[in-house]
Amino acid sequence: MIELVLASGNLHKAEEINSLLDNGIFQVLAPKEKIEVDENGDSFEKNAYLKANAYYQLEKSPVLSDDSGLIVEVLPGELGIHSARFGGEGLDDRGRAELLLEKMKDVPEENRSAYFVCFLCFYLSKDEVYFFEGRLSGSIGTEYSGSGGFGYDPVFIPKKGVSGLSLASQTDFKDKNSHRALACLAANKFFSGKLGLDRP
């Protein structure tokens, strides 16, 4: 069993990661305290490392961090690693999603491509750090719909799944196919092999 402190105070993210990682391999714990990390990296991978390293210094034990976001092809540089800060201070999840819809209201369907990215960083020690990536392709819809997700899920239409439905309207699909689910699946497979466990 690998005990990991989650480098986040985001309850949604904590619940999701706990449900996706193999609980026969991992136990994910809440941090002693939430700390502010200067995420000044220029990629998801670098920011995941910065968070993991900062929490490792605090906890002195293995840490799991996540950095993820939404890439929208017609808005290069506006979201991505800045997804959680899109629109500036004062906006909540719904406000950011609705701002995105407003910015794209005149964009035709064929130009609304987007994808979610997740980088997980397993910081077991200073000399043992692993990264896993997951991606989910789709497009930005034209309305806010669904109650089963958070963040940009209600405006994201996955390429696979039920045609036309947002990710927030397809919780069963999201559980198995989200960017975070795919990154966790890769981690489960890697660590089960590393530990010599017999996993399907």
Residue 44 maps to a domain: yes
Predicted local confidence at residue 97, as pLDDT: 96
Residue 199 lies in a domain: no
Q: Which of 186, 143, 137, 185 has its CA nearest to residue 160?
A: 137
Looking at the domain assignment, is residue 55 inside a domain?
Answer: yes
CB atoms within 10 A of CB 125: 10
Tens digits of per-residue pLDDT, 52-75?
A: 999 999 999 999 999 999 999 999
Determine, yes or no, domain membership for 113.
yes
Provide the pLDDT for residue 162. Answer: 87
Which among 22, 66, 67, 175 is annotated as catalytic?
67
DSSP H/E element including 73: none
Above 60 in pLDDT, residue 200? no
In this predicted model, what pLDDT tens digit does every residue of 147-187 receive, in sequence order?
887 899 999 999 998 889 999 999 999 989 999 999 999 99
* Under 8 Å between Cβ of 34 and 9: yes
Q: Is the residue at 71 inside a domain?
A: yes
- The domain tally of the chain equals 1
φ/ψ region of 164 (left if φ > 0, alpha if ψ in -120 to 50, else beta) reads left
Domain range holding 96? 2-194
Q: CATH code at 73? A: 3.90.950.10
Average pLDDT, the chain: 92
Assigned domain for 200 exists:
no
Residue 199 has pLDDT above 80, yes or no: no
Is 67 one of the catalytic residues?
Answer: yes
